[in-house]
Structure 1
């Protein structure tokens, strides 16, 4: 009898220990999700079939395309509004006369450069242009520069959806609408939102607007993250009845428009809007977006230092009336209170500089400065960031597992 009591007690303690495992500081208590920035651009030309395929093989959670419009109104996958820095267009003599100067100044978009602009090329012409790898990083392979053409958004979706079936695992699509003001000016529509409507139309036709996932996922237990990466499904696994997606923009008016039109989560990207980092600013964001995605220095240096170093002016009285700037930990906590998830961008390959302000300026006001990618990712994991845009997904997966193991060991 005594032995049986001890056995039952041991089982109860074990069950309690498993259930009460320390959770992450994210909104749902689960490990931060990883979004492959332009696919896996650390090894493949960005936004290429190879880049997206490699991101999927590395078990990333979301695979990101950036969207622009071709001359004939096709949504294409290109990071910038121009082609010179990520394709071989400069070497194609038939397009030499397409290079031109273009200037645009809007509330949220500004362009002033001489380039090959995507809206001067038809879909058919863009398909003759190859993706090339950035030559500024000698460790990035240059072997694939003749292998991949510019993709349309539907080609991207075909590819990712094919990978979901082939690999039997979900991947989220997370398209960003680049410079909505520019494209809505170039392609006028009755409501002034034709650019956004083109995206929504495709997402609706592809059934991304049906059966969105529940707001919070069950909390992972010890070993679940590793199983997830290895695609080891639990015994009670049920195939999702939804297609995982989120829609991004730096334009808050576009985000607000999209938020009223769809149940797909909206990602508010930002690098220069001080009002967003106040309590009242978060209240406004919560009315249309489920995810706030700031440049990573905003969550490390803090808003005040970030805007000072980037020479971004703001009305101090207005910011104070909105509750004042929230420091990083408070910002994440207050965002979570409003059911807003947080997603900093972008954490690069460890072989290249982090680009953080604190590594470029000697200022004692920087409270912390990560010395390497491990320290950088651990900082954002500990902060409770729900998503992180990353490059070199393999490294990010290793570091996420290491942090998860750290949480597990602290609970023992």
Structure 2
């Protein structure tokens, strides 16, 4: 580890608190966006059904298609720069495997309970990462997106903010950012904690001091820390993401705790979440599960329970291909076929539960689904 890396790793708590306080004061500025009563459309990794995820093209398409917010998932490079990737694993969404100069960095890691073999973001500096190009994750389902393979760089969080701010200035529409802090516990153990850099980045940009920002995580401790440092501000919300079943958030598992996502989705669990977060974000099937025939069953009580706890309800993720739709909405054109009508119909079924927002890989279809309600 070089001296610069050690300096970043050992930033004092005093500086962290001061940065958080500075941002908290800045966030007192009035938001430029009027409150909306209609559900919000979150562009999941950008318009990732149409362009390679987390690229300028994906974000541009999402904004053009009417998304209210765009999502950069955030991970850290070896030299401590926040970049937009869905996870630390690079092999599925970049052309890293085609770079012989990085062949020796192929390795195996277990992150948040999942083991992958390939290349990982925290083994690359930003300069090295910038030599890679993005590729489509599921080309068999999204060949139209795959035609853009190799065209776009991996983006830093600051580049995403600048781009969204520029698009806002061009369109005259304030566009929110819904960043997710990925693998916080893993990166902290690697000496690359995300939260401090994240708070500093928000504070450094005028746009994120005024425009809507909704911060997500599947972990708990990082959201509690962010609430402590940032407080409650007009343009800022915190979103607790959850999975399903008796699975523990990564930070809970690492600390030997017992809390599971299943417990977090109970009435008591939701009341606890409301003490530090504003939004509860479950997978869609936790709201209306699938039957054995893959058709929708009756809704659970979760939507009502979330609202009763005083939380917003913003589930993830709607995708427009048959393979991802409930059987009620498939059109028989093949599992990889794009099915716009079916996707819109499925979203409308869930919107009847009173969603405050939702994530979709195709924001244009989300906008149409809302318009038809």
**Which category describes the TM-score, using the shorter chain as reference length?**
0.7 to 0.9
- Taking the aligned partners of 2:116 and 2:46, their CA distance within structure 1 comes to 26
Task: Please report the TM-score for the alignment, with normalisation by the length of structure 2.
Answer: 0.76
Secondary structure of the 2:211 match is coil
Candidates 225, 230, 243, aligned match of 1:271: 243
Task: Please report the TM-score for the alignment, with normalisation by the length of structure 1.
Answer: 0.69
Deviation at 1:56, TM superposition (A): 0.8
Q: 1:207-222 residue pairs with structure 2 within 5 A?
A: 207=206, 210=209
- Taking the aligned partners of 2:308 and 2:359, their CA distance within structure 1 comes to 22
Secondary structure of the 2:322 match is coil
Secondary structure of the 1:383 match is coil
Secondary structure of the 1:282 match is helix
- Taking the aligned partners of 1:301 and 1:135, their CA distance within structure 2 comes to 27
Equivalent residue, structure 2, for 1:126: 129
Deviation at 1:161, TM superposition (A): 0.7
Equivalent residue, structure 2, for 1:372: 342
Candidates 318, 329, 338, aligned match of 1:347: 318
Deviation at 1:398, TM superposition (A): 1.6
Q: Deviations over 1:254-300 (max 9, x none)?
A: 22221222232111001131112211111101001101000111111
Q: Deviations over 1:79-121 (max 9, x none)?
A: 11111101111111111111101135xxxx2232211000000
Q: In the superposition, relative to structure 1, how do residues 54 and 81 fare at CA in structure 2: closer, same or farther (>3 Å)?
A: same
Q: 1:141-160 residue pairs with structure 2 within 5 A?
A: 141-160=145-164
Deviation at 1:374, TM superposition (A): 3.1
Equivalent residue, structure 2, for 1:183: 187
Answering whether residue 105 of structure 2 is matched by residue 117 of structure 1, we say: no
Q: 1:309-388 residue pairs with structure 2 within 5 A?
A: 328=299, 330-349=301-320, 351-354=321-324, 356=326, 372-388=342-358
- Taking the aligned partners of 2:199 and 2:206, their CA distance within structure 1 comes to 10
Secondary structure of the 1:30 match is coil
Deviation at 1:29, TM superposition (A): 8.2
Judge conservation of contact 2:286–2:302 (CA < 8 Å) in 1.
Answer: no
Q: In the superposition, relative to structure 1, how do residues 116 and 375 fare at CA in structure 2: closer, same or farther (>3 Å)?
A: same
Judge conservation of contact 1:71–1:121 (CA < 8 Å) in 2.
Answer: yes
Judge conservation of contact 1:343–1:387 (CA < 8 Å) in 2.
Answer: yes
Q: Please say which structure displays the higher CA radius of gyration.
A: 1
- Taking the aligned partners of 1:81 and 1:53, their CA distance within structure 2 comes to 23
Deviation at 1:67, TM superposition (A): 0.4
Equivalent residue, structure 2, for 1:251: 219
Q: 1:12-411 residue pairs with structure 2 within 5 A?
A: 30-104=37-111, 109-133=112-136, 134-187=138-191, 194-207=193-206, 210=209, 242-262=210-230, 263=232, 264-272=236-244, 273-301=261-289, 328=299, 330-349=301-320, 351-354=321-324, 356=326, 372-403=342-373
Deviating 4+ runs (over 6 angstroms)? 357-360
Judge conservation of contact 2:50–2:142 (CA < 8 Å) in 1.
Answer: no
- Taking the aligned partners of 2:243 and 2:317, their CA distance within structure 1 comes to 12
Q: In the superposition, relative to structure 1, how do residues 77 and 209 fare at CA in structure 2: closer, same or farther (>3 Å)?
A: closer
Secondary structure of the 2:117 match is strand
Deviation at 1:182, TM superposition (A): 0.4
Judge conservation of contact 1:48–1:148 (CA < 8 Å) in 2.
Answer: yes
Q: In the superposition, relative to structure 1, how do residues 278 and 141 fare at CA in structure 2: closer, same or farther (>3 Å)?
A: closer
| Structure 2 gap ranges (5+) | 1-34, 245-260, 331-340
Judge conservation of contact 2:165–2:207 (CA < 8 Å) in 1.
Answer: no
Secondary structure of the 2:301 match is helix
Equivalent residue, structure 2, for 1:228: none
Secondary structure of the 1:202 match is helix
Deviation at 1:353, TM superposition (A): 1.8
**Size of the alignment, in residue pairs?**
304
Q: Deviations over 1:146-193 (max 9, x none)?
A: 2201011101111111111011101100110111110000016xxxxx
| Structure 1 gap ranges (5+) | 1-27, 189-193, 211-241, 310-326, 361-370, 404-412
Secondary structure of the 1:372 match is helix
Deviation at 1:142, TM superposition (A): 2.8
